[in-house]
Amino acid sequence: MNIVAIIPARSGSKSVPHKNIRPIAGKPMLSYSIEHAQKSNYINRIILSTDSEEYARIGLEYGAEVPFLRPEEYATDTALDLDVFEHCLNFLKEKENYTADLVVQLRPTYPIRDPKDIDACIDILLRDPALDSVRCIAPAKEIPYKMWHRQEDGRITPIMTDIPECYNMPRQQLPRVYYQNACIDVVRGTVILNRHSMSGDNIYGYVMSKNYDIDTEEEFLMAEEYLKITSGKKRFVFDIDGVIAKLVPDNNYANAQPNSEMINIINQLYQMGNTIVLHTARGYVTGIDWREITERQLKSWGLCYHELHFGKPNADYYVDDKMLDMKRLYDFFSSKYPLGQ
């Protein structure tokens, strides 16, 4: 089958100027989507649709095809995805007699994306001929059943009317809702060209628990830090008590219990190729030798590490129970971004 990934990357961006080619963790943003497509087991063609010669040069450098520069009318703030994709598919059909069976949209603002999700979406569409498309969705934080339209005279009316007085109900009793996160869309080529739609009517929702889109400077910086942390070849130093182990009364470390969530995070960093160094002040004041007990605890807790110091060595990163960095690490691994997938 002809399964083509199309990466739409126009040169205009007001929120983060030139974000599609802005370097993030050492590479231009759009290069990540090209690499994601290259890692797919299904995609056999990758096309960058752009209006910029500079973007085109970067796309070619990282392995995408750029058979055309997108016309100006399809590179505005108001241009629809449908306009962009119809232009691309019509160009390929007219110039190369190429017809796409499946079209995968990979927006370049997602430098964090698991190629396994791409293949999972494609596989769903391949297995069910009744489906028109697969669209990635994520659980919505805001509930539309609690939302309102506000009239010019100040009166409000509920957006949702299928449940009487849903706005007065506990949120736990309301239906779960999702929003499209725009990470991956897979649609049949005939739906785009013959029905002039980017989705069709029969749409499968592929649930993703996270959202990784970059639309603001803050999101850009967060994504860059995440990519640096998870790229491997970094040296992480973790304090034991208050980070790996829960704090115990009177510093009786023999009774320490593991912080399982943090241990899981550290093990993932270890598997990514980072160097894990542990340090502790156990016995610094009392002179008690806690090494044997500490090593036995770490082994029983299943923690992977390279070095154990009773002191504080040099490092690229310090993670300490008194630093905000610890919270950021929790956020990366359990809240905003997907790790270990």
What confidence tens digit (pLDDT) does each residue in 288-311 have? 899 999 999 999 999 999 999 997
| Cβ atoms < 10 Å from Cβ of 340 | 12
Q: Is the distance from CB of 109 to CB of 20 less than 8 angstroms?
A: yes
Angle between the N-to-C axes of helices 29-38 and 115-127, in degrees from 0 to 180, rounded to the nearest 10: 50
- Among 3.40.50.300, 3.40.50.740, 3.40.980.10, 3.90.550.10, name the CATH number for the domain at 3-140+177-215: 3.90.550.10
At residue 339, the pLDDT reads 40
Reading the block at residue 268, the tokens are 């993932």
Per-residue burial over 48-79, b if 16 or more Cβ lie within 10 Å, else e, is: bbbbbeebbebbeebebebebebeeebbeeeb
CA gap 169, 160 in Å, rounded: 13
Per-residue burial over 260-288, b if 16 or more Cβ lie within 10 Å, else e, is: eebbbbbbbbbeeebbbbbbbebeeeeee
| Cβ atoms < 10 Å from Cβ of 116 | 12
CA gap 201, 157 in Å, rounded: 29
Reading the block at residue 29, the tokens are 């943003």
Ramachandran class of 297: left when φ > 0, alpha when ψ lies in -120 to 50, beta otherwise: alpha
Q: Is the distance from CB of 116 to CB of 341 less than 8 angstroms?
A: yes
Place of tokens 């069976």: 101
DSSP element (H, E) containing 223: helix 217-230
Helix (H, G, I), strand (E, B) or coil at 6: strand
Angle between the N-to-C axes of helices 260-271 and 325-334, in degrees from 0 to 180, rounded to the nearest 10: 80
At residue 216, the pLDDT reads 82
At residue 325, the pLDDT reads 63
- Among 3.40.50.620, 3.40.50.1000, 3.30.360.10, 3.90.79.10, name the CATH number for the domain at 232-334: 3.40.50.1000
Instruction: Give CATH 3.90.550.10 domain extents, the chain.
Output: 3-140+177-215
DSSP element (H, E) containing 23: strand 23-24
CA gap 187, 121 in Å, rounded: 10
Angle between the N-to-C axes of helices 217-230 and 325-334, in degrees from 0 to 180, rounded to the nearest 10: 90
Instruction: Give CATH 3.40.50.1000 domain extents, the chain.
Output: 232-334
Low-confidence ranges of the chain (pLDDT < 50): 322, 324, 336-341
